Chain A
């Protein structure tokens, strides 16, 4: 096998390998997936964050607008403090409502932002006041059952 043939084949081999890596990076892995530009941070307090995880998506109207950065326990308020980043292109009113929602019945949990009607927008580092905790299925079921029991009580007294 002469020199130029070997060079040609090795060149083709390396080019194919790099092409495969690029395919994996761009087409399969969407390197541009984390396209949150010039992010700013906001935070919110929740009574219960359920199964929310760091790096969970922050969505508004179903569109990805940011990511959860940090979750910690605030021992003074006995609440969870969730710090998250939001894409710099998006501004939210000060009376925005932060909910912890679940995508699908068994899906991952995410932070949903429902914008309010105020003119003033949240500045970087500000805290969202209005929050709603994650729905804990056990609590929902127990409320439903106790509700039923309370409804059923007066009946035998008649």
Chain B
């Protein structure tokens, strides 16, 4: 009986310890950001690795999500004879939810896992320690550029995902099925509000970017420095990023969209 409580207690203490550690780590990244921005090239390099190299998967997935939304939306809307509202449906579902969330999930598995693996391997091969010995802060040199690379590229990727998805919906609706082009765009423009829909989506994607980037660099920095530890850290990055994105999405949706 005592063993069960002891286990529960140690789990709780571990969790609180980890939360405290991640918060302090976040603070350290912000603290060393100024120092790392003096060598902006490092951040631009990370922007290339996590942003540019994620372009293909984001654009292709966005296109397919849009195509599927177009087909499914048409199938449902035609029952009510309101296929003109297809543009509205595709645009709103992408801008508000699917764009930020799916782009965030893809970003976590494409770029977040890579960042964790890189930092984890640096830890295994004791490069981080070596930097410390040479009085180079590994947080300023390695962690902060990767963090900011993720934070900057995530909203841009989400916007591209949404734009590509709307293009996919347009392709299915207007080009293949023959919904009126004018009705598709005008209904969409009448229903989509810039501040309420577009801006809230961008805010969401920024928050997901911070969450994914922070989890990725933290798991890499915190991993057990063995081959197994790195692989576990990568798994944890993907799993906790996905959970964080979905949980944050629910919380933010409930604040942003509650029908006036």
Contact = CB atoms under 8 A, between A and B. Distances in A.
Interface of A: 1, 3, 6-7, 9-10, 12-14, 16-18, 20-21, 23-25, 27-31, 33, 53-55
A16 B41 CA distance: 20
A29 B87 CA distance: 11
Contacts of B185: 27
Interface of B: 41, 44-45, 47-48, 51-52, 55, 91, 95, 153, 155-157, 159-160, 162-164, 166, 185, 188-190, 192-194, 197-198, 201-202, 260
Given A33-B189, A53-B260, A24 B48 contact: no
17 contacts: A1-B48, A6-B44, A6-B45, A10-B48, A13-B48, A13-B52, A13-B153, A20-B162, A20-B163, A24-B162, A24-B198, A28-B91, A28-B95, A29-B194, A29-B198, A30-B194, A55-B260
Contacts of B156: 13-14, 16-18, 20-21
Contacts of B160: 16-17, 20
A87 B241 CA distance: 47
B45 A17 contact: no
Contacts of A13: 47-48, 51-52, 55, 153, 156
Contact of A28 (B51, B155, B198): B198
A57 B18 CA distance: 51
A89 B189 CA distance: 23
B202 A21 contact: yes
List the 4 closest A-B pairs by CB distance, nearest first.
Answer: A17-B156, A30-B189, A20-B163, A20-B159
B192 to A, nearest CB: 4
A17 B194 CA distance: 17
Contacts of B157: 17
Given A28-B95, A29-B193, A33-B190, A21 B44 contact: no
A28 B186 CA distance: 9
